[in-house]
Amino acid sequence: MSASAARILDVSSSTPHPVETIAGSLESGVLILCDHASNAVPEDYGDLGLPLAEFERHIAYDIGAAAVTRSLAKRLGAPAILTRFSRLVIDPNRGRDDPTLVMRLSDGAVVPGNAKVDEAEVQRRIARFYDPYDAAIQAAVENAIGTGNPPVIVTIHSFTPLWRGWPRPWHVGILWDVDDRFARPLLDGLAAEDSLVVGDNEPYDGALAGDTIDRHATVLGLANALVEIRQDLIATDEGAEEWAKRFATLLKPLAAQADRRIPKLHATRTRERLRRH
């Protein structure tokens, strides 16, 4: 595969872990996650039967999200955790029993390498990719809580400008479920910029059973926000830096309010059981 297309990553025991971690201060009050950071496919999975061009699309990863995550972590001095495998291998932002955990068809593209995946193969992928990412997040959260610094969990995603023929007018969306402690001020801060079209639970709803936020924030009552930035705005380094700066400016004073980050358990974990791409 070309350098600009899917990056081959062998995650056998003698090679890099399938998760990238960025060290940061727990006193920042923020833990940044990037579920779809990479379009990498391990060498033993080949190209999953797809043309290389498909790995440049959103079906393989969230374009620009990793660059925003790394820059935001640096600006806040916050820890971050990113995947090093494509969502086409397995999607860590899905529940273990979600039928889209391993995608066989994604935005019109049939994935031959996933077409005949059985339960045993799903479990192998969970153990090899999904579980290490989950474990890294769990360890980071437990460490932060243990030091008296419960974090706000912020996940960085990107979305396509056009979906199934329908244009998406939003520049950015903030997704949330039952806890809007950070979502609401982020929405207000973004809306204060007249040039931005801001989506409240757009282009998706934030209530997705078993997703990363549900597993690691909602169940523990941790404050959280899922950020969705339109991918054409962060496809370049300059664009990613611009958006990282914007969110650093908004998040830093919010995260400094320790009372805003106190765990708050909710009677209902999710408003609805939804699925999003």
Amino acid at 150: P
Q: Is the pLDDT of residue 171 over 70?
A: yes
Give pLDDT tens digits for 215-225: 999 999 999 99
Confidence (pLDDT) at 267: 58
Q: Is the pLDDT of residue 271 over 60?
A: no
81 and 34 in contact (C-beta within 8 Å)?
yes
**DSSP string over 145-187:** HHTT-PPEEEEEEEE-SEETTEE---SEEEE-SS--TTHHHHH
Q: What are phi and psi of 212, to 5 degrees?
A: -60, -45
Q: Tokens 């077409």 correspond to what residue?
A: 115
Query: Mean of the per-residue pLDDT values for the chain?
Result: 90
Average pLDDT of 202-227?
94
Q: Tokens 């400016």 correspond to what residue?
A: 249
255 and 262 in contact (C-beta within 8 Å)?
no
What number does CATH give the domain 19-261? 3.40.630.40
Distances from the Cα of 133 to the Cαs of 83, 92, 197, in angstroms?
A: 7, 8, 32
Which of the four pLDDT bands, split at 50, 70 and 90, describes residue 86? Answer: very high
Which of the four pLDDT bands, split at 50, 70 and 90, describes residue 273? Answer: very low
Average pLDDT of 221-238?
97
Beta strands in 87-167 (DSSP E): 105-106, 109-110, 152-159, 162-163, 166-167
Average pLDDT of 226-237?
98
162 and 170 in contact (C-beta within 8 Å)?
no
Phi and psi based region of residue 93 (left: phi greater than 0; alpha: psi -120 to 50; beta: remaining): alpha
CA–CA dist 221, 239 (Å, integer)? 33
Which of the four pLDDT bands, split at 50, 70 and 90, describes residue 277? Answer: very low
Give pLDDT tens digits for 7-41: 444 444 445 589 999 999 999 999 999 999 999 99
DSSP H or E run through 226: strand 224-230
CA–CA dist 167, 135 (Å, integer)? 37
Which of the four pLDDT bands, split at 50, 70 and 90, describes residue 2? Answer: very low
Picking from 111, 153, 160, the residue whose alpha carbon sits closest to that of residue 136 is 153
Q: Tell me which of 275 and 128 has the higher pLDDT.
A: 128
Which of the four pLDDT bands, split at 50, 70 and 90, describes residue 206? Answer: confident
Average pLDDT of 83-94?
97
Average pLDDT of 43-72?
95
Confidence (pLDDT) at 8: 47
Give pLDDT tens digits for 97-139: 999 999 998 776 789 999 999 999 999 999 999 999 999 999 9
